[in-house]
Structure 1
Amino acid sequence: MSTPYCCPNCKTNRSRFNIIRQVPQSVKLDPQTGNIIEQYSSGELSPFHMAYKGPEIRVQCGSCGLVEDERTFIKFGQM
């Protein structure tokens, strides 16, 4: 996070952002009620449960509200 950001949507904001740290929680839900039946730790997923592979950090523009992957804001900040 030591690189400059720029919003790819409004193209003017370079200073006000919300950093969103994503913390995935792997669970098995009851299909009828939606209640959590089982919670998995990252190393103990069942064979049919795929681990989360998305970005760890997402960024929201503090001016227009756009939420994107951090790399998008970094690329526009380098221009």
Structure 2
Amino acid sequence: MSAPYLCPNCKSNRTRFNIIEQHVKPVKLNPQTGDIVEEFDQSNLEPFHLAYKGPTYKVQCGACGLVEEEISFIKRAEFSN
């Protein structure tokens, strides 16, 4: 988060953003009720439970509300110069 941003949607916002930190919580749900049956740690997942491999952070434009991966905002700023 030490690079300039430019919103790829509204193409005008360079200063107002929300940084969204994602915390992964692997769970097993009851298929009928949706209640959490079991919580897992990333290191002890069941064989058919894939580990989350997405971004740690997402960014929301403070002007138009677009939510994307941080790289989208960085690349838009790089190409606008």
TM category, shorter:
over 0.9
Task: Map residues 1-79 of structure 1 onto 2, 5 A cutoff.
Answer: 1-79=1-79
4+ long deviations beyond 4 Å: none
Quote the RMSD (CA, aligned, Å). 0.5
| Structure 2: runs of 5 or more not aligned | none
> Normalising by the residue count of structure 1, what TM-score does the alignment of the two structures yield?
0.97
C-alpha displacement of 1:78? 1.3
Q: Secondary structure at the match of 1:74?
A: helix
Q: Indicate the percent of aligned positions where both proteins have the same amino acid.
A: 61
Aligned length: 79
Amino acid at match of 1:77: A
> Normalising by the residue count of structure 2, what TM-score does the alignment of the two structures yield?
0.95
C-alpha offsets along residues 47-66 of structure 1, whole Å, 9 cap, x if unaligned? 01000011111000000000
